[in-house]
């Protein structure tokens, strides 16, 4: 949760990371506010970071550095697959994850599933810098439903699935989208050489437990599981991701092969991901490897409960 405080010269938004730590953002202007069936959505203008989206008063994305999240979220998985044609995005309401998928000229079908239609409409209207028209791309199909229900309807269909879901808070809409049973549905929906990438929460030493549990859970389902991370400035934290694959290993690629795929697919203007950062992101430190080794498998019967 976050608290709003009026101070001389503006408004402060304080977001709680754990009981011990809060991060504070100085707000220049509250631009738009909405209440959907699922969450509160705010678009604010922050000093330093610019325009930013907060959901239930937790920062989701800021204009200054959104590429520092969305390129790592999407591009390692897309370039690990040799020919991604059919892609599903779970979540990703502001449209930037979809945007990154559609940069690849190999993509013929992009299905985005987000349960919150009101949020997607809100973001489409007020966050064009993020989606850049991706909702209206002829390759895009938008579905407003539960991602688990939709993914369960597919078998051997998608080359890449990108799970850009909100954290699995207790009783929230995403809690059952991080379990072994859910990832088995994802596995079944992927082609024989399909690739999954998952946003996996903070990778800081204070509270890396969700990250560790996601990695450990995916190891129960997929033969290739590679955790990776990057620092997202507006989150004020290192952020965790996981690539899980039926066949292709992102560390088996060469820098030359990645560069060739970038050129052949016509992907231009990357600001974070390239053949060098690809490998750097997968070099997670010993403390995170230890967290993974000690983590538990998440199941429908015992999902993740946030206890920070």
* pLDDT tens digits, one per residue of 3-46: 555 544 579 999 988 888 999 999 999 999 999 999 999 999 99
Domain match, 183 and 81 both = yes
Domain identity same for 231 and 248: yes
Q: Identify whether residues 22 and 48 lie together within a single domain.
A: yes
- Res 3: pLDDT: 56
Residues with Cβ within 8 Å of residue 54, at least 6 apart in sequence: 2, 13, 40, 41, 42, 43, 44, 60
Q: How far apart are CA 211 and CA 209, in angstroms?
A: 5
- 37, 62, 87 - which closes a domain: 62
Structural domain span for residue 255: 67-294
302 in a structural domain: no
Half-sphere exposure of 41 (CA within 13 A, CB side): 22
pLDDT at residue 275, as a whole number: 98
Q: Does residue 300 fall inside a structural domain?
A: no
48 and 147 in a single domain? The answer is: no
Q: Do 135 and 275 fall within a single domain?
A: yes
Looking at residue 7, what is its pLDDT? 46
Instruction: Please report how many Cα atoms fall inside a 13 Å half-sphere around the Cα of residue 13, on the Cβ side.
Output: 25
SS3 percent helix, strand, coil of the chain, rounded to 5, is 30, 35, 35
Q: Answer yes or no: 192 catalytic.
A: no
Q: Is 183 inside a domain boundary?
A: yes
Please tell me which residue in 164, 188, 249, 300 is annotated as part of the active site: 164
Written as six digits, the tokens of 170 are: 């207790």
306 domain-assigned: no
pLDDT at 169: 75
Residue 197 covered by a domain: yes
Residue 307 lies in a domain: no
Residue of 66, 85, 68 whose CA lies nearest to 131:
66
User: What pairs with residue 264 in β-bridges?
Assistant: none
88 and 13 part of one domain: no
Domain final residue, candidates 44, 62, 80: 62
Q: How many domains does the chain have?
A: 2
**What predicted TM-score, i.e. pTM, was given to this entire model?**
0.95
Same domain as 103, residue 148: yes
Q: Domain ends where: 62, 96, 114?
A: 62
Q: How confident is the model over 213-242, as pLDDT tens digits?
A: 999 999 999 999 999 999 999 999 999 999
CATH code of the domain covering residue 271: 3.40.50.150
Give whole-number Cα distances, 31 to 27, 51, 108, in Å. 10, 9, 36
203 assigned to some structural domain:
yes
**Same structural domain for residues 51 and 77?**
no
Q: Kindly give the parts of the chain with pLDDT less than 70.
A: 1-9, 170-171, 308
List the structure tokens of 278: 């690809």
Q: 91: closest CA among 73, 79, 64?
A: 73
What are 225's strand-pairing partners? 244
Q: Does the residue 257 lie in any domain?
A: yes
What's 39's domain CATH number?
Answer: 2.30.140.10
Closest CA to 168 of 90, 244, 226: 90
Residue 143 and residue 281 share a domain: yes
The first and second tokens of residue 197, run together, are 């990438």
Q: Verify that 6 and 95 share a domain, yes or no.
A: no
Check whether residue 7 and residue 146 sit in a common domain: no
- Asked if residue 286 and residue 211 are part of one domain, the reply reads yes
Q: What is the reported pLDDT for 91?
A: 97
Q: How far apart are CA 273 and CA 271, in angstroms?
A: 6
Structural tokens at position 79: 């370039």
């Amino acid at each position: 949760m976050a608290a709003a405080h009026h101070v001389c010269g503006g408004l402060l938004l304080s977001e709680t990371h754990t009981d011990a730590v809060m991060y504070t953002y100085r707000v220049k202007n509250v631009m738009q506010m909405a209440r959907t069936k699922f969450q509160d959505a705010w678009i604010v203008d922050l000093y330093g970071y610019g325009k930013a989206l907060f959901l239930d008063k937790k920062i989701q994305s800021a204009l200054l550095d959104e590429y520092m999240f969305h390129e790592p979220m999407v591009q390692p998985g897309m370039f690990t697959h040799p020919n991604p044609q059919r892609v599903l995005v779970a979540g990703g309401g502001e449209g930037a994850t979809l945007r990154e998928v559609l940069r690849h000229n190999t993509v013929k079908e992009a299905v985005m599933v987000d349960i919150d239609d009101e949020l997607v409409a809100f973001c489409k209207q007020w966050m064009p810098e993020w989606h850049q028209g991706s909702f209206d791309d002829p390759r895009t199909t938008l579905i407003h439903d539960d991602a688990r229900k939709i993914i369960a309807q597919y078998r051997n269909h998608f080359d890449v699935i990108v799970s850009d879901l909100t954290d699995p808070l207790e009783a929230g809409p995403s809690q059952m989208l991080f379990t072994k049973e859910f990832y088995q549905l994802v596995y079944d929906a992927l082609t024989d050489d399909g690739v999954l990438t998952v946003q996996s929460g903070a990778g800081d030493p204070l509270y890396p437990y969700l990250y560790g549990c996601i990695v450990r859970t995916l190891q129960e389902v997929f033969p290739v599981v590679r955790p990776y991370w990057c620092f997202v400035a507006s989150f004020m934290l290192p952020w965790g991701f996981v690539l899980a694959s039926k066949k292709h290993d992102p560390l088996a690629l060469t820098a030359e092969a990645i560069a060739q795929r970038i050129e052949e697919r016509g992907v231009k203007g990357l600001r974070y991901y390239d053949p060098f950062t690809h490998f750097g992101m997968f070099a997670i430190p010993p403390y995170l490897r230890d967290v993974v080794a000690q983590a538990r498998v998440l199941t429908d019967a015992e999902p993740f409960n946030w206890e920070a």
